[in-house]
Amino acid sequence: MIVSSSAIVLSKLKYRDNDIIVKLFVRELGLTSFIVRGSSKKNKSNYFQQLSFLEIEFDFNAKRNLHYFKDFESKLNLKTIHRDFKKMSVVIFLSEVLSKILIHQQKDYQLYDFIEGAIEYYDKNIFNSIFHIVFLVNLSKFLGFYPDINNNHCQYFDLQHGFYSNTKDSEYIIFDDDLQCFNKILGINFDDLKTLTLTPVQRKNLLDNIILYYKLHIENFTTVKSLDVLRKLF
């Protein structure tokens, strides 16, 4: 079956001397792996930088683990996320997270379009140190565990069960300043980022809480290796 689709690059891995294996989130299929022959020729590898967007054509076979491109080309002319060091660090972090959570992901147009729109926004706008946090919170809407904002006047938020409470019924509770920071990012979109200010400590704690939230709601969500680099940068 010949498939033509847009796709998001999640990762690439060197394979043999001149080939690479790439994992793409394909809009029409979900997570799909490809082998790119002779990637060193004609700078093919440059097409497969993390969170790049492609238009691809290939022959899909459900029995194959690896597929081959009939054709591919860049979809979006991204100008900053692979050149700005801080933005690139965020891209590496988000692509690692997405690689973990989309491992069994099937076709989902809304999820795909959210990721594409968010990264395109990030590329076109100035660096913001909270973008990746808001991205993860809004991403959880499409994954089925966005926080229940009812009773958000309560003094605790239960990360394990995803709702507000006035009782400590879980060991995974946030409150006080951590809760205030958490409340600030719920319900906002990327255009609101410029109005949001957090200290480095608040930002670190908030990101740690969001990562813990993901671990509690996604089975086998393993350690995000690029998180340490992100913490050191900002």
Per-residue pLDDT of 218-229, as tens digits, reads 999 999 999 998
Residues 192-213: tens digit of each pLDDT: 998 999 999 999 999 999 999 9
DSSP letters, 150-192, are TTTTSSEEETTTTEEESS--SS-EE-HHHHHHHHHHTT--GGG
CB 19 within 8 A of CB 39: yes
Residues 34-69: tens digit of each pLDDT: 999 876 666 777 899 999 999 999 999 988 999 999
Residue 118, pLDDT > 70, answer yes
User: Could you identify the residue written with the tokens 């979006």?
Assistant: 76
CB 158 within 8 A of CB 182: no
Residue 136, pLDDT > 70, answer yes
Domain 85-233, second-level architecture: Up-down Bundle (1.20)
Average pLDDT taken over every residue of the chain: 93
| CA–CA gap between residue 128 and residue 121 (Å, rounded) | 11
User: How is residue 45 written in tokens?
Assistant: 């590898």
pLDDT for res 181: 97
Q: What is the mean pLDDT of residues 150-154?
A: 93
Q: Could you tell me which residues come within 8 angstroms of residue 145 by beta carbon, excluding any fewer than 6 positions away?
A: 162, 213, 217
Instruction: Give the CATH H-level superfamily of domain 2-74.
Output: Nucleic acid-binding proteins (2.40.50.140)
Question: Which sequence spans correspond to the domains of the chain?
Answer: 2-74, 85-233
User: How is residue 139 written in tokens?
Assistant: 């991403």
Residues 114-146, buried b or exposed e (16+ Cβ, 10 A)? Answer: bbbebbeebbeeeebbbbbbbbbbbbbebbeeb
Amino acid in position 19 = D
User: Could you identify the residue written with the tokens 């899909």?
Assistant: 60
Residues 177-196: tens digit of each pLDDT: 999 999 999 999 999 998 99
pLDDT for res 169: 87
| CA–CA gap between residue 225 and residue 90 (Å, rounded) | 12
Residues 24-49, buried b or exposed e (16+ Cβ, 10 A)? Answer: bbbbebbbbebbbeebeeeebbebbe
Residue 99, pLDDT > 80, answer yes
